[in-house]
Amino acid sequence: MQMLGLDLGERRVGVALSDPHGIVASPLVQLTVRGRRDLVAAVARLVAEHGVERVVVGLPLLADGTRGEQARRVDATVAVLREALTVPVVAWDERFSTQDADEAMRQAGLRPDRRKARRDKVAAALILQAYLEAGSPLR
C-alpha cells in the first residue's frame, strides 16, 4: 500500500511517499501552498499521480502529549482533507520530527542553507516512516 506523508507548516508543506509495499518512506517534495483549498488540490493531485491509498498527516502534539493551538489547526486541516479525498487520512504524532530532520541532515553533512530547503520533506519522511514502522494503524 503506497502512502503519502505530510508535514504541515504555515507556509510550506513537506511531502513524503512510501514505496509501493508501504515499507520505506522517502522525501518527495516541499510545497508552498496558500490556504487549505490550495493544499487540498495539491494533495489530491499527488494522491492521483502516485496511486496513494492513505495520507498520513503529522500531528504536532505538545511534549506532554496534549494538543496545543498548532495541533488544533492541523486537526481542522485533517478534517477538510478527509472530506475532500477519497482515501483515508490519518493524523500521526510528529513530536520533534523537525528537530530530528535537522539532526539527520546535519549528520549527513548538509550545509545549513541546504537543510532549510529540505527540512519539511525530510520531516514528512520521518513522520511517515514512524507510522509505517508502527504497523500502519488507522486512526
User: CATH number for the 3-133 domain, one of 3.50.50.60, 1.10.260.40, 3.30.420.140, 3.90.420.10?
Assistant: 3.30.420.140
Confidence at 100, pLDDT banded by 50, 70, 90: low
pTM of the model: 0.86
pLDDT value, residue 7: 94
Q: Strand 3-8 vs strand 54-59: parallel, antiparallel, or unpaired?
A: parallel
Q: Rounded mean pLDDT of 65-93?
A: 95
List the one residue out of 95, 111, 104, 135 whose CA is nearest residue 27. 104
Question: How far apart are the C-alpha atoms of 22 and 3, rounded to whole Å?
Answer: 7
pLDDT class for 11, splitting at 50, 70, 90?
confident
| Residue 17 identity | L
What cell numbers appear for 132 in the block?
Answer: 509505517
pLDDT given for residue 50 in this prediction = 97
pLDDT(115) > 70: no
Confidence of residue 120 (pLDDT cuts 50, 70, 90): confident
The dihedrals phi and psi of 130, each to the nearest 5 degrees, come to: -60, -40
Where in the chain are the domains?
3-133
DSSP string for residues in 66-100: ---HHHHHHHHHHHHHHHH-SS-EEEEE-TTHHHH
Structure confidence at residue 110 (pLDDT) = 60
Q: Are 61 and 26 in contact (CB under 8 A)?
A: no
- The grid coordinates of residue 37 equal 483549498
% the chain with pLDDT above 90:
60
Q: What confidence category does residue 96 fall into, taking pLDDT thresholds of 50, 70 and 90?
A: low
DSSP sequence for 16-71: EEE-TTS--EEEEEEEE--HHHHHHHHHHHHHHHHT-SEEEEEE---TTS---HHH
pLDDT at res. 75: 96
Mean pLDDT of the chain: 87
74 to 8, 83, 109: CA distances (angstroms)? 7, 14, 31
Residue 6: band (very low, low, confident or very high) from pLDDT cuts 50, 70, 90: very high
